[in-house]
Amino acid sequence: MEKETQSNRRTFLRKASTVAGLTAAANVLPFSASLRAMGANDHINIGFIGVGGRGGALVSELLQLQDRCKIVAVCDVWERRKNAAAKRCEAEGYTDYRELLDRNDIDAVFIATPDHWHAKMSIDAMKSGRDVYCEKPMTKTVDEAKKVYETSVKTDRIMQVGSQYASLDMNWEARRLIAEGRIGKLVWSQGTYCRNSREWEWNWAIDENAGPTKAGDDHIDWNLWLGAAPKTDYDAERYFRFRKFWDYSGGIATDLFYHKLAALTVCCGDEFPYRVTGTGGIWVQPDREVPDTFFTNIDYPSEHSINMPCSMASNIGVPTIIRGNYGTIYPDDPEPGHLRMVAEEPFKKEFVQLNGKEEFVYESKPREGHVENFLSCVKTRKQPNLNARRAYIIMVPIAMSVEAYRKNEVLFFDSKKERVSARPVKI
């Protein structure tokens, strides 16, 4: 089977001898109406693209759900990772994801690659008729996020973006309480995601034996990994530690803030931003292009603000707090999985009228996990917790904060035209 796969790949590459040619070819993938018809009791066949650190963790989760799904194909540009995952899953291995999409027995595709590939792979997978689970961030830019969302609508595909916080019962309970006006008018919220270490964040181990000039398990297809990113000679630092470089990532914003904003968006409601800023800098860790300390501020048309501070050089952050003018919500308080709601001193009377007492604690109820939620929706065709629309709404201020930081500007979003503006827009 391995010889046959290698032969198929050589045939494929002969048809398009350059990476640009391969990319152009992928733009015309047709929507496939010939995929297998899946019954309600059938296993969901999965193709998995990107089986590194996060991808490997998701593979482990899926292998625990073999009563519901089966990984039939895996893909990675590093031969060692590809072959190890193929053996682990008892699946076929591919170096080029388009060969994986050529199969007609795959129902859903999981994507756990660097950020700069998320949009293209998601779009290609949906155009080929597959539902998609894509790790966060949804994409790298606002325009990409819009295109991915529009593709999900046009192809009628289920999409879930991989931030498990969007499936926590605690956050959905907060959403209900806020929507019912139980803390009065929503005013502002905060959340953080801080880390610190002697090795510095994202400095994952480098395999010095691996690279594009190496053979066998050590071979990395560097051109395929780069894709549409700016062309450059192989750099192990860029490959193994991609989150430190603008070409492939948005740093803190796309890695960590997407998680936090996913949770806060579930809590506070789905709304495009009005105004976004991104500030901070490289204060401690000069081995990177992206800031090690970053602050995102988002103002919404509904007159609600979100503040997200973060540092990779200090592990001391701020608690998640959601503030209304009558009361305040503290998720994960007094312990993880709980939610505490407390009256504001000047408006205790109004708070008690709405809630019956001055303070109460909600304990989370069992709820389907994030991956399981996606698998259920593949069968039911219902929208998952972090569907393409919600993921797009979250991606807009995340990507805007990166752009605002890099341009040293305040940016605005026109929600009617769904585009970023350097000038204020009318709400």
Would you place residue 42 in the very low, low, confident or very high pLDDT band (cuts 50, 70, 90)? confident
The pLDDT value given to residue 35: 62
Mean pLDDT of 79-94: 98
Structure tokens at 153: 């609508």
pLDDT in tens, 256-300: 999 999 999 999 999 999 999 999 999 999 999 999 999 999 999
Mean pLDDT of 39-63: 93
Q: Which of 290, 295, 296 is nearest to 242 (CA)?
A: 290
| Sole residue written with tokens 């990319």 | 23
Q: Whole-model pTM? A: 0.91
Would you place residue 108 in the very low, low, confident or very high pLDDT band (cuts 50, 70, 90)? very high
pLDDT in tens, 385-414: 999 999 999 999 999 999 999 999 999 999
pLDDT in tens, 291-348: 999 999 999 999 999 999 999 999 999 999 999 999 999 999 999 999 999 999 999 9
Q: Of 37 and 370, which is predicted with more confidence?
A: 370
Ordered DSSP codes for 297-334: EEEETTTEEEEEEEESS-------EEEESSEEEEET-S
List the domains of the chain with CATH numbers: 2-162 (3.40.50.720), 166-199+250-367+389-421 (3.30.360.10)
Query: What is the average pLDDT score of the chain?
Result: 92
Q: Is the pLDDT of residue 151 over 90?
A: yes
For 269, other C-beta atoms within 10 Å of its C-beta total 15
Query: Cβ contacts of residue 303 below 8 Å, gap of 6+?
Result: 185
Number of H helices, E strands in the chain: 15, 16
Would you place residue 40 in the very low, low, confident or very high pLDDT band (cuts 50, 70, 90)? low
Is the four-CA dihedral 386, 389, 393, 399 of positive or negative sign?
positive
Q: Is the pLDDT of residue 182 over 70?
A: yes
Would you place residue 82 in the very low, low, confident or very high pLDDT band (cuts 50, 70, 90)? very high
Structure tokens at 336: 């993880």
The pLDDT value given to residue 7: 42
Q: Is the pLDDT of residue 379 over 60?
A: yes
Q: Are strands 293-300 and 304-311 parallel, antiparallel or unpaired?
A: antiparallel
Q: Which of 377, 412, 418 is nearest to 147 (CA)?
A: 418
The pLDDT value given to residue 37: 67
Phi then psi dihedrals of residue 342, to 5 deg: -130, 145
The pLDDT value given to residue 12: 40
